[in-house]
Amino acid sequence: MFDEYDYPTFRTEPDDFRNMASPFFQFINSSCQLTLQAISTQLLAFYSTTLITPKLISPEQFQIQINQLVSGFIENTAQVFLNSLFLVNNMTRANMLISALSSDSILTLYPGYYHRAYYDYEYVYDNIDQVYNGTLSVINCDCQYSSWCKQHAIVYNIDAITYLFVIPGIFIGCYIVETVLQSDLQCFYNFSCLQELSDKLMISISESDVLSLNSSRYQMDTSMLEIISNLMVEEWNNRTSYSIYFNRCQPKSCTATYIGRGDIVYIVTTM
């Protein structure tokens, strides 16, 4: 429904969780798929890598070199993925593209003009959380100057004024990418927190929907930036075989050198 100026009679605040819940989780899901794709692509090149040594090395030296190769692969894969992610994000920022969520700026219909010209207004987010401070902070973060502005995501009452629930760890900001990267999933590890959120959103959940810390190496307050920087991987399985390496080298002979000092009996008998 709209009023005489074509303004909607029902509105939600830009920091209302209802506005960004769907793209928030869509981005996490897409990141999981993209990191898996990046790993698979880099593995094709990694599997073609040949370990060449001038001579047969010991099992200890073999494991050290393998660990270095694997560590380099993980770091390189993560860097390639993050470079691609931030390249697209920086292009969006540099070209001043407007978020589909109207979270960085909003096109509003000005009622005083016959031709209904559109004007661009910037949303301003508190750099210091206003919920914790109790009042609006004097330090503001403007999306025009930084795309990393944030404040806590809130579930509002239908009047768009009254707070129903401030979601721990979840933020809203200029763009969905920076918003997710600065957020964590602590509420989804806590049944009471998730229960309260679902009650305010009028959806049903069960205890099986709660994330378990026992099945993850990450902490409940680990930021999504850290998780994605680790390619969303829980554990790397490094399975290498020294025996395969040994057989591939096919040494024809093995030599050993012994250095020692002869005793008096040896010296007398050999003179």
Q: What is the pLDDT along the chain (271 residues), one digit of tens a residue?
A: 445 544 444 456 667 888 889 999 999 999 999 999 999 999 999 988 888 888 888 899 999 999 999 999 999 999 999 999 999 888 887 887 777 777 777 655 444 444 444 445 455 544 333 332 333 344 577 777 778 888 888 898 877 678 899 999 998 888 899 989 999 999 999 999 999 999 998 888 888 889 988 889 999 999 999 999 999 999 999 888 898 888 888 767 667 777 766 666 555 566 5
Q: Give the pTM.
A: 0.76
> Is-contact 169 181, C-beta < 8 A?
no
Tokens of 67: 């660990």
If you ran DSSP here, which 8-state letter would residue 97 be given?
P
Neighbouring-strand partners of residue 223: 184
- List the Cα angle 233/236/240 in 5-degree steps: 160
> Is-contact 134 116, C-beta < 8 A?
no
Q: Exposed e or buried b for every residue in 97-124, given b needs 16+ CB within 10 A?
A: eebebebbbbeeeeeeeeeeeeeeeebe
